[in-house]
Amino acid sequence: MAKNQSLSILIPILLFLSLSTGCIIGDRLDIDIVLVGVESIRHGQKEFWKREKRYASLEELIKSRLVDAGLSDGEEAGYRFDLSARVESYLLKVSKAQPQTAPTGGEYHEELSIYLDETGIIRASTDPKNGADSRSSEISPKP
């Protein structure tokens, strides 16, 4: 599936998730940006594997120009991208970089987290108590 096709599949899923969880428009735009970053890493890992027969760190993906240098600090739109790579596997976990503060001084719990590994399936969770993992709902099938 072409990169643009997979992004066009992600957008309706994203809109459903954001509307069903009560996100405001700014939050939806942030999530769109985050999903583009996740898709970029997924595509970059696939291409890096074809070339090198191993998976890459975020720095290697950026250096190889497979991922935009804007992710070099590991953050995008208020979300933290934690990528670990081994020869035959990788794991990307995306979550809020910092907890939001509620108007009463308490903290909002993290709502959206994303999980991606070498299967290429993007998974997400909106459960504030449990971050996304390999058992979470698929939001984008393997490309």
Q: Which two tokens stand for residue 1?
A: 């599936």
User: How does pLDDT run across 100-140, given as a tens digit for each residue?
Assistant: 555 555 555 447 899 999 999 999 998 878 899 999 999 98
Length of the chain: 143
Tell me what pLDDT residue 32 has.
Answer: 87
Tell me what pLDDT residue 73 has.
Answer: 93
User: How does pLDDT run across 20-30, given as a tens digit for each residue?
Assistant: 555 544 466 78
Residues near 82 by beta carbon (within 8 Å), at least 6 away in sequence: 74, 92, 93, 94, 95
| Maximum CA extent, the chain | 52
Q: What mean pLDDT, rounded, does the chain reach?
A: 82
Residues near 102 by beta carbon (within 8 Å), at least 6 away in sequence: 108
For 107, phi then psi, to 5°, come to: -115, 140
